[in-house]
């Protein structure tokens, strides 16, 4: 995606951020070899904080012993504005900076609009 139709940092499409109805995302990230423990710690540090945020309907992170360092995320927010508030939180800015050097490749995000 081009930077002119997504924000912030090209991660979230502008249409998602503008939504006044619930939005959801499922994503995937893999830690670099040797960084699995650090990545896990960074993720665990934000789960509770995120779940307490206004508009957070669901925030779940999964992993599997068969693929150490592989993390699957599912988030559902009441609106795009709630999602934008979430990614703008200081703890999320710290998180994004911390994982930048830990992630193998790019973060994958698949944005969803509920049917009802």
Facing residues of 73 across strands? 27, 61
- Express each pLDDT in 43-58 by its tens digit: 999 999 999 999 999 9
Q: What is the mean pLDDT of residues 19-30?
A: 94
Backbone torsions φ then ψ of 4, nearest 5 degrees: -80, -10
Q: Between these two residues, 113 and 13, which has the higher pLDDT value? A: 13
Nearest to 108 by CA among 6, 30, 8: 30
Q: What is the pTM of this model?
A: 0.86
What is the distance between the alpha carbons of residues 16 and 7, in angstroms, rounded to a whole number? 10
Nearest to 70 by CA among 95, 97, 99, 104: 104
- Asked whether the predicted pLDDT for residue 38 surpasses 50, the reply is yes
Backbone torsions φ then ψ of 81, nearest 5 degrees: -65, -40
């Amino acid at each position: 995606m081009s930077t002119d139709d997504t924000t912030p940092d090209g991660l979230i499409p502008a249409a998602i951020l503008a939504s006044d109805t619930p939005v959801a995302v499922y994503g995937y990230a893999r830690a670099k070899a040797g960084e699995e423990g650090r990545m896990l710690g960074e993720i665990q540090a934000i789960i509770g904080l995120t779940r307490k945020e206004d508009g957070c309907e669901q925030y779940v992170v999964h992993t599997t012993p068969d693929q150490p360092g592989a993390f699957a995320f599912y988030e559902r927010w009441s609106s795009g504005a709630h999602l934008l508030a979430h990614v703008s939180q200081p703890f999320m800015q710290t998180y994004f900076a911390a994982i930048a050097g830990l992630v193998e490749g790019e973060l994958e995000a698949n944005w969803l609009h509920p049917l009802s």
